[in-house]
Amino acid sequence: MGVRRWRELVADRKKIILYKTPIRPVVSYGAEAWTLTEKEEQAVLIFERKTFRRIYGAKYENGEWKSGTNRELEEMSKGENIVKWIEEQRISWLGHLERMEEDRMPKKIFTQELKGTRRMGRPRKRWKEEVERDLQVMGVRRWRELVADRKKWKDIVRQAKAHSGLYCQWKKKNICAFVGVLLELQNARCNDTDGNEHFYSIMVT
């Protein structure tokens, strides 16, 4: 079946279900134990957007074919994306670990403190710290007390899927850094060839 024929016969809603059922779980296998860097988050997001663009296809506007923008794809998916889904899986696994019996191996690994010296430089991201940060962004406090109630914890896991703050954390950090550079440039002094000082102002829109 050709690509055009596929798009005509299968509804977009069914294609999204096909993506979420066999494709996304394979791409994110074991994601409940991942700690993602910004580069890795971008990589899985790019993969998902490419998949969505193939599903929805290009649109014919003003005499030319155009692919959907990132914002349009986000609106179509109702704010959900693969990064939020991974974070949802991690929070779900955290609850499972916390409720697990003490003699189980995953629980021992989760609670045990490793001894020894670490390498110089910034330490690697720890899984537990990442998940606790996600819960903090969601406004969840005293999560250890909530874990025992499976229904409440399930609601928290469900909220993570569409929570706007989780995916935006690294974007906010990059934007703040960019704005900081612009503010420094705004008041920067530049000397011309005659030695005269000029002030250059940058309009941030």
| DSSP output for 51-102 | HHHHHH--EEETTEEEPPPHHHHHHHTTT--HHHHHHHHHHHHHHHHHHS-T
- Beta strand 189-191 with 64-66: parallel, antiparallel or unpaired? unpaired
Mean per-residue pLDDT for 156-182?
59
Mean pLDDT, all residues of the chain: 77
pLDDT in tens, 61-74: 788 888 888 888 88
Locus of tokens 């440039």: 185
Q: How distant is the alpha carbon of residue 140 from its chain centre?
A: 18
How confident is the model at residue 197, as a pLDDT?
A: 44
Nearest Cα to 90, choosing from 48, 39, 118, 129?
129
How confident is the model at residue 11, as a pLDDT?
A: 78
Locus of tokens 């860097």: 37
Stronger pLDDT, 125 or 192, i.e. the higher one: 125
Stronger pLDDT, 182 or 62, i.e. the higher one: 62
Nearest Cα to 95, choosing from 8, 157, 46, 175?
157
Which H, E and C letters describe 122-178, residue by residue? CCCCCHHHHHHHHHHHCCCCCHHHHHCCHHHHHHHHHHHHCCHHHHHHHHHHHHHHH
Q: Is the pTM of this model over 0.85?
A: no
Distance CA 132, CA 127 (A): 9
**178: Cβ–Cβ under 8 A, 6 or more apart, which residues?**
none
Locus of tokens 């955290």: 94
How confident is the model at residue 205, as a pLDDT?
A: 34
How confident is the model at residue 200, as a pLDDT?
A: 36
Residue 171 pLDDT > 60: no
